C-alpha cells in the first residue's frame, strides 16, 4: 500500500495551477480586454491557490468516503507435476503486475523449500492446503490478490480452499501424462516410476480431476501466450474494472 | 487497499471549485471593481474547471511518482501462558486501527483452532513459528503490519522470526508465574501441574526470557491502559509519522 508524499501533493498542485491559471487569464481577458490586468490577476491567483490546493488535497486524505476497497481474488493453478502450472502462473503474475492491484505469488515449491518437511501423504497435503488457505485468506483481508500454483490433487483440499477464500478461480492446467513426462528434464517421473518417490501424483498417487474449474487450459492445444491471454481476459472481465 | 471512486473525484472537484471560484471572484472584483462581471467570470470558470479538475485528478492516478510505500512493522507479544499477551495485543490492535495503516491481528489460539494438530514439542513449536514468520513476511511484502501474540518460549524461534521479518518489535509481557496462575480461570495451570498437559510452558516446559526485547511490559506493575500507552507511543515515534 502506498500513501501520497507531501512533495507529490505540492507538485500535483503546481501542475493543476498551470492548467487552471491559464484558463482564468483567458476568461478575464475575454471579459475585460486587458491582458496586463488579466495576467496580474492570474499571478495573484497562482500564489494564493497553490497553497489552498495543497491544504485542500491534504484535507481530503482524512476523508474516507468515496474510497472503494479493492476486491481480491485467488487464481488457483492445479494440475499434474510438470503440467506447466508454475510457468503459466509466473507469466500470469507478470501480466497482472501491470495493473494497480496488490498481488502475491504463492508457489508450492517455494513454500516447501522455505518450510521443509511438509510431506506428501494425503493427510500431509490436506493440512498443507489448509495452511495455504489461511495464508490466502489473511492476504485477502488486506485486499491482496493471489496467484497460487499447487499440484493439489485431491478434490477435498481444493474444496477446502474454495470454502476458505473468496473469488476463487480454479485454473485446471490439463496435460496428458505423456506430455508431462516429456517436459520432465530432471527425470522426476522416471524416479517415481522406479519407486524412488512415494505418493508421486500421476504415478503412485491419484490426481482427482477438478469438476468445477472456472478455467481449463489444455496445454496440449494452447500455447503459453494463448493460455495467459485466456486467464487475463477472465480476470479483466470479472475482477479488474 | 482502497482506490478512489469516480464519484469521490467529482465531489472533491466540486468542493475545490467552491474554494477556488470564490477566490477568483474576489481577485477580479478587487482589480476591476465590477462585481457583476467578476461573478460572470467566476461562473464560466466554474463550469470549465470542474471538468478540468476531474480530468487532472484521474490523470494523476496513473502517475506513480510521489507515492511512498507504507513501511510495515511486526509487534510480537511473547510471555508465559495467561501473562496477558492476548488481552494486551487486542487492545493495542484496536488502538492502531485508528491510524490509516493496513493491519492484521495474528493470535496463537486462533491459528491453532483453525489448523489443528500443530503440537507443543520444541520441534513442533519451532516449525510453527517458521510458518508464522512466513505469513508475516508475506503480509509485509504487501505493506501489512502485524500484531502477533504467541507464547514463543524459545530464543531460537524468536530469533528465526526476527530474521524473517522486518521492523520486528518484541514486546515481552512479563508476569510472575503466581500472577499467571491467579488469572487462570480455566484451570490450565492446575491441569498442567497434575500432569494432564505435556510441554506446558512455565510448568513442564521452559520459558527462555527474551534478552533483546524492544519493549518490556511488567504486568505486575503496569495497568493495561498504561501498557497500551507505552506500546502505542513506541510505534508512533518509530513507525507512524
Summarised one tens digit per residue, pLDDT across range A4-36 is 777 787 787 778 878 888 888 888 888 888 888
CB contact under 8 A, A60 and B12: yes
* Distance in angstroms (rounded) separating the CA atoms of residues B183 and A145: 41
Gyration radius from chain B CA atoms: 27
Asked if residue B81 lies in contact with residue A15, where contact means CB atoms within 8 angstroms, the answer is no
pLDDT at position B233, please? 96
Each domain of chain B, given as residue ranges in start order, spans: 6-61, 74-238
Residues from chain A contacting residue B131 (CB–CB below 8 Å): 115, 131
* Distance in angstroms (rounded) separating the CA atoms of residues B68 and A103: 17
User: Rounded to a whole number, what is the distance in Å from the CA of A32 to chain B's nearest CA?
Assistant: 8
Q: Which CATH class is domain B74-238?
A: alpha beta
Contacts of B92 by beta carbon, 8 Å cutoff, 6+ apart: B75, B147, B228, B231, B232
- ipTM given for this complex: 0.74
Higher local confidence (pLDDT), B49 or A231: A231
Most confident of A170-174, B57-61, B196-200: A170-174
List the alpha helices (DSSP H) in chain A.
6-32, 35-61, 85-96, 108-114, 122-141, 155-164, 177-183, 188-193, 224-238
Helix/strand/coil (H, E, C) string of chain B? CEEECHHHHHHHHHHHHHHHHHHHHHHHHHHHCCHHHHHHHHHHHHHHHHHHHHHHHHHHHCCCCCEEECCCCEEEEECCCCCCHHHHHHHHHHHHCCCCCCEEEEEHHHHHHHCCCCCCCHHHHHHHHHHHHHHHHHHHHCCCEEEEECCCCCHHHHHHHHHHCCCEEEEEEECCHHHHHHHCCCCHHHHHHCCCCCCCECCCECCCCCCCCCEEEECCCCCHHHHHHHHHHHHHHHCCC
Asked if residue B80 lies in contact with residue B192, where contact means CB atoms within 8 angstroms, the answer is no
Write out the catalytic residue numbers of A: 152
Among A41, A49, A102, select the one facing B31 at the smallest CB separation: A41
pLDDT at position A3, please? 66
Chain A interface disruption, residue of B12, B66, B123, B127, most A CBs within 10 A: B66
- CA A123 to mean position of chain CA atoms: 29
Among A31, A52, A70, select the one facing B2 at the smallest CB separation: A70
Residues from chain A contacting residue B3 (CB–CB below 8 Å): 67-68, 70, 100
CB contact under 8 A, B102 and A20: no
pLDDT at position B19, please? 81
* Distance in angstroms (rounded) separating the CA atoms of residues B198 and B203: 9
Higher local confidence (pLDDT), A228 or B50: A228
CA nearest to B136 within chain A: A135
Residues from chain A contacting residue B127 (CB–CB below 8 Å): 115, 117
- List, in sequence order, every residue forming a beta bridge with B75; answer none if it has no partner: B147, B169
Q: Which three cell numbers stand for residue B200?
A: 506446558
Neighbours of A80 (CB within 10 A): 23
CB contact under 8 A, A104 and B141: yes
Among A28, A45, A67, select the one facing B3 at the smallest CB separation: A67
CB contact under 8 A, B5 and A68: yes
Contacts of A74 by beta carbon, 8 Å cutoff, 6+ apart: A136, A140, A145, A146, A148, A161, A165, A166, A167, A168, A169
* Distance in angstroms (rounded) separating the CA atoms of residues B59 and A64: 21
Neighbours of B198 (CB within 10 A): 12
CB contact under 8 A, B138 and A134: no
What mean pLDDT is predicted for residues B10-16? 79
* Distance in angstroms (rounded) separating the CA atoms of residues B227 and B220: 11
CB contact under 8 A, A115 and B104: no
pLDDT at position A96, please? 95
CB contact under 8 A, A45 and B23: yes
Among A24, A37, A102, select the one facing B45 at the smallest CB separation: A24
CA nearest to A12 within chain B: B60
For residue B145, pLDDT over 90 is answered with yes
CB contact under 8 A, A5 and B66: yes
Residues from chain A contacting residue B69 (CB–CB below 8 Å): 1-2
pLDDT at position A191, please? 86
User: Rounded to a whole number, what is the distance in Å from the CA of B41 to chain A's nearest CA?
Assistant: 6
Chain A interface disruption, residue of B4, B27, B71, most A CBs within 10 A: B27
Higher local confidence (pLDDT), A10 or A236: A236
CB contact under 8 A, A104 and B27: no
Q: What is the pLDDT of residues B172-189, one digit of tens each?
A: 999 988 888 888 888 888
Among B8, B49, B68, select the one facing A2 at the smallest CB separation: B68
CB contact under 8 A, A115 and B135: no
Contacts of B185 by beta carbon, 8 Å cutoff, 6+ apart: none
For residue B203, pLDDT over 90 is answered with no
DSSP A56: H
CA nearest to B30 within chain A: A41
Query: Pairing mode, if any, of strands B74-78 and B145-149?
Result: parallel
- CA B67 to mean position of chain CA atoms: 20
pLDDT at position B5, please? 73
Most confident of A39-48, A53-62, B10-19, B132-141: B132-141
Query: Pairing mode, if any, of strands B168-174 and B74-78?
Result: parallel
For residue B36, pLDDT over 90 is answered with no
Q: What is the pLDDT of residues A56-86, one digit of tens each?
A: 878 887 777 777 777 899 999 999 988 999 9
- CA A50 to mean position of chain CA atoms: 37
Among A9, A11, A16, select the one facing B56 at the smallest CB separation: A16
Three-state SS at A23: helix
Residues from chain A contacting residue B1 (CB–CB below 8 Å): 1, 69-70, 101-102, 142-144
Query: Pairing mode, if any, of strands A168-174 and A74-78?
Result: parallel
CB contact under 8 A, A44 and B27: yes
Q: Strands of A74-78's sheet, edge to edge?
A: A103-107, A145-149, A74-78, A168-174, A215-218
Asked if residue B12 lies in contact with residue B57, where contact means CB atoms within 8 angstroms, the answer is yes
Q: Which three cell numbers stand for residue B113?
A: 483452532
User: Rounded to a whole number, what is the distance in Å from the CA of A197 to chain B's nearest CA?
Assistant: 24
**Apex A123 CA angle, A119 and A125, nearest 5:** 50
Asked if residue B3 lies in contact with residue A240, where contact means CB atoms within 8 angstroms, the answer is no
Question: CA–CA distance from B112 to each of A122, B107, B150 (Å)?
Answer: 20, 9, 11
pLDDT at position A2, please? 65
Higher local confidence (pLDDT), B212 or A42: B212
Q: What is the pLDDT of residues A182-215, one digit of tens each?
A: 888 888 888 888 888 888 888 888 899 999 999 9
- CB-defined contacts A:B, below 8 A: 154
- CA B52 to mean position of chain CA atoms: 38
Contacts of B178 by beta carbon, 8 Å cutoff, 6+ apart: none
Amino acid at each position: 500500500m502506498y500513501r501520497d508524499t507531501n512533495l507529490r501533493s505540492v507538485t500535483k498542485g503546481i501542475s493543476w495551477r498551470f492548467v487552471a491559471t491559464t484558463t482564468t487569464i483567458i476568461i478575464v481577458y475575454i471579459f475585460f480586454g486587458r491582458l496586463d490586468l488579466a495576467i496580474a490577476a492570474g499571478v495573484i491567483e497562482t500564489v494564493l491557490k497553490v497553497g489552498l490546493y495543497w491544504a485542500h488535497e491534504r484535507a481530503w486524505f482524512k476523508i474516507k468516503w468515496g474510497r472503494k476497497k479493492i476486491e481480491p481474488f485467488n487464481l488457483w493453478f492445479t494440475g499434474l507435476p510438470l503440467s506447466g502450472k508454475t510457468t503459466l502462473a509466473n507469466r500470469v503474475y507478470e501480466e497482472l503486475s501491470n495493473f494497480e492491484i496488490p498481488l502475491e505469488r504463492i508457489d508450492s515449491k517455494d513454500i516447501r523449500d522455505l518450510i521443509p518437511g511438509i510431506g506428501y501423504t494425503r493427510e500431509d497435503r490436506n493440512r498443507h492446503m489448509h495452511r495455504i488457505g489461511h495464508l490466502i485468506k489473511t492476504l485477502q483481508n488486506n485486499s491482496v490478490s493471489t496467484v497460487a500454483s499447487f499440484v493439489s490433487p485431491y478434490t477435498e483440499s481444493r474444496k477446502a480452499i474454495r470454502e476458505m477464500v473468496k473469488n476463487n478461480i480454479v485454473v485446471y492446467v490439463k496435460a496428458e501424462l505423456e506430455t508431462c513426462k516429456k517436459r520432465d528434464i530432471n527425470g522426476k517421473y522416471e524416479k517415481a516410476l522406479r519407486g524412488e518417490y512415494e505418493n508421486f501424483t500421476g504415478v503412485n498417487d491419484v490426481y482427482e480431476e477438478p469438476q468445477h474449474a472456472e478455467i481449463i487450459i489444455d496445454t496440449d492445444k494452447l500455447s503459453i501466450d494463448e493460455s495467459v491471454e485466456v486467464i487475463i481476459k477472465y480476470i479483466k472481465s470479472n475482477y479488474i474494472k
